[in-house]
Amino acid sequence: MPPSHSSATDPWEAVLERLDDAAKLTAVDPDIHRMLRRPQRVLEVSIPIRMDDGRVAVFTGWRVHHDTTRGPAKGGIRFHPDVDAHEVTALAANMTFKTAVANLPFGGAKGGVRCDPRLLSLGELERLTRRYTIEISPLLGPDKDVPAPDVNTDGRVMAWLMDTLSMIRGELLTASVTGKPLAVGGTLGHAGATSSGVLVCVRAAFNAVGRPLVGSRAIIQGFGKVGGPLAFLLSSAGMRVIAVSDVTGAVHNPGGIDAFALSDHVAATGGVAGFDMADPIDERDMWALECELIVPAALDGAIDADVASRIKAGVIVEAANGPTLPEADPVLDERGVFVVPDILANAGGVTASYFEWAQSRQGYAWDEETVATRLRSTMETAFEAVWAKATNLNVSLRRAAFALAVNRVADAIAARGLFP
């Protein structure tokens, strides 16, 4: 059984709270509301693999479909020791709403394996990936469910997944997964797409609140696949990144952190701790630093009511999934903090995945400029739609984003009807 969560931190309960609020805001049909409060399917699988020392270890994995009314299920796969069914289900629901906000022809899914990949050899990691793929294979396929990388997974893992599924089915299924290496049908621009989408939202948010981007100070929580590239992008846009944290610690330099030097340090040491061009700082103190922008780009639940009460930034752009707990929303609203929610801010990644899926199905690769232009256009259109909804309903961007998403999914459900 998955570990239990308290009601305050259960990610599924947090999603339901926001779904219920959106349903009230938009007067969604009660029957459709009830349907969206339950995932379509939750598959839990046992994953036995042979370890390098000869023993058999058994891991647990999940693949969850929340809703597939608007298209094939879409969502990443994460390998993490704290993964459980509640988390995966919540993330699947958020993917339903994220793809709807970006107006992509996908539904919502998520997958995970409870493991610590840092303790696995390359061979063990490959065997784990392939056995997990076999166990969830009945759900997968270009028109059914299209996985992508997430926490602790990457293009190599996606290539193993695609190869395994192709071997099972006896046909090459490049469109069955996204985030693949270019050598097997990946797309240009996918690696930094989430970060690029976050930058679009940062620009739009600062424009909305009437603040200049150049010279403003930023804090990034997380220096991985999203936070790392984002530090470069924000610096290039004229911002000063004054603090960065990851699992190893946090560092602060009020004059601005050199993103290139920090990246080299992380590559050499495995984390930001010990970076000699900035001072160490406790992460809890980092949240309270004077700045204009905070970007949580790590795991969920980082901003609770206490953290929210100490934040001095005027803008938060959520690059991570579910970084703000529902208890923190009224605190941030009361203090006038402009929050761009995760289902909008980090939709650049799934947008690039949509582009890759389309290219794989067409058998025609786009050039990098086409990918970048279409990504920027999609993110700007999504922000404008959420902003219009927020203005119309006189609510925060988070409430507006969920309201817009629930409306779009509900419209699709109503149009298709209920079978049988």
pLDDT in tens, 393-409: 999 999 999 999 999 99
Predicted structure pTM score: 0.94
In this predicted structure, the answer to whether residue 274 has a pLDDT above a threshold of 80 is: yes
pLDDT digits (tens, 9 = 90+) for 71-116: 999 999 999 999 999 999 999 999 999 999 999 999 999 999 999 9
Give the number of other CB atoms < 10 A from CB of residue 55. Answer: 8
**Domain boundary, last residue among 314, 345, 376:** 345
Q: Are 187 and 210 in contact (CB under 8 A)?
A: no
pLDDT at 8: 52
Q: Are residues 85 and 202 in the same domain?
A: no
Q: Are residues 168 and 212 in the same domain?
A: no
pLDDT of residue 10: 85
Residue 413 lies in a domain: no
Predicted confidence band at 3 (pLDDT cuts at 50, 70, 90)? very low
Same domain membership, residue 319 and residue 214: yes
Tens-digit pLDDT profile for residues 344-394 = 999 999 999 999 999 999 999 999 999 999 999 999 999 999 999 999 999
Q: Are residues 48 and 93 in the same domain?
A: yes
Question: Which stretch of 133-137, 150-154, 240-244, 299-303 has the lowest confidence by average pLDDT?
Answer: 299-303
Q: Same domain for 202 and 133?
A: no
Q: Check whether residue 341 and residue 280 sit in a common domain.
A: yes
Of 345, 374, 408, the residue at which a domain comes to its end is: 345
The torsion region of residue 288 among left (phi > 0), alpha (psi -120 to 50) and beta comes to alpha
What is the distance between the alpha carbons of residues 380 and 50, in angstroms, rounded to a whole number? 47
Tell me the one-letter amino acid at 371. Answer: V
Q: What stretch of H or E contains 374?
A: helix 368-393
In the prediction, which pLDDT does 300 show?
84
Q: What 3-state DSSP class applies to 386?
A: helix
Q: Could you tell me if 258 and 326 lie in one domain? A: yes
| Structural domain includes residue 10 | no
Q: Is the pLDDT of residue 2 over 60?
A: no
pLDDT for 92:
97
pLDDT at position 53, please? 98
Q: Looking at residue 126, which CATH number applies to its domain?
A: 3.40.50.10860
Residue 169 lies in a domain: yes
Q: Are residues 264 and 311 in the same domain?
A: yes
Q: Mean pLDDT across the chain, nearest whole number?
A: 95
Q: Is residue 414 part of a domain?
A: no
Query: What are 288's two structure tokens?
Result: 């309270």
Residue 191 has pLDDT above 60, yes or no: yes
Q: Region 54-67: what's the mean pLDDT? A: 98
Q: Residue 151 sits in which domain range? A: 39-184
Please provide the DSSP assignment of 294-342 as one string: EEE-SSTT-B-HHHHHH---SEEE--SSS-B-GGGHHHHHHTT-EEE-H
End-of-domain residue from the set 149, 184, 219: 184
Where residue 341 sits, what CATH number does that domain have? Answer: 3.40.50.720
Residue 108 lies in a domain: yes
pLDDT in tens, 16-27: 999 999 999 999
Catalytic residues: 110
* pLDDT value, residue 299: 79
Residue 82 to residues 18, 151, 300: CA-CA distances in angstroms? Answer: 23, 11, 12
Taking the C-alpha atoms of residue 357 and residue 340, their distance in angstroms, rounded to an integer, is: 27
What is the CA angle 150-155-159, rounded to 5?
115
Q: Are 244 and 331 part of one and the same domain?
A: yes
Structural domain contains residue 324: yes
pLDDT score for 114: 98
Distance between CA atoms of residues 55 and 176, nearest Å = 32
Q: Above 70 in pLDDT, residue 295?
A: yes
Distances (CA, A) of 265 to 271, 277, 344: 7, 10, 31
Residue 364 lies in a domain: no
Q: What pLDDT is stored for residue 190 in this prediction?
A: 87
Beta-sheet strand order (sheet of 240-246)? 279-280, 249-252, 240-246, 217-221, 293-296, 315-317, 338-340
All residues at 6 or more sequence positions from 290 whose CB lies less than 8 Å from its CB, including other chains: 217, 312
Helix axes 11-26, 397-416, angle to 10 degrees: 80
pLDDT digits (tens, 9 = 90+) for 137-185: 999 999 999 999 998 999 999 999 999 999 999 999 999 999 999 999 9
Q: How many domains does the chain have?
A: 2
Is 174 in the same domain as 263? no
